[in-house]
Homo-oligomer: A and B are copies of this chain.
Amino acid sequence: MTQFKFDVNGLMPAIVQDEKSGEVLMLAYVDRTAIRKMLKLGKTCFYSRSRQTYWIKGETSGHIQEIKKISTDCDYDTLLIQVKQRGGACHLGYRSCFFHTLNRQGNLKRITQKRIFDPKKIYKVKNADETKTR
Are A102 and B24 touching (Cβ within 8 A)? no
Q: What's the Cα separation between A107 and B101 when bound, in Å?
A: 37
Query: 0/1 per residue, A68-110, Cβ < 8 Å to B?
Result: 0111111110111000000000111010011111101111100
A26 lies within 8 A of chain B by Cβ: yes
Q: What's the Cα separation between A71 and B94 when bound, in Å?
A: 14
Are A72 and B102 touching (Cβ within 8 A)? yes
A39 lies within 8 A of chain B by Cβ: yes
A-B contact pairs, 18 of them (CB 8 A): A1-B108, A13-B13, A15-B24, A22-B22, A24-B24, A24-B80, A27-B78, A39-B102, A70-B102, A71-B100, A71-B101, A72-B101, A74-B91, A74-B99, A74-B100, A75-B97, A76-B108, A80-B98
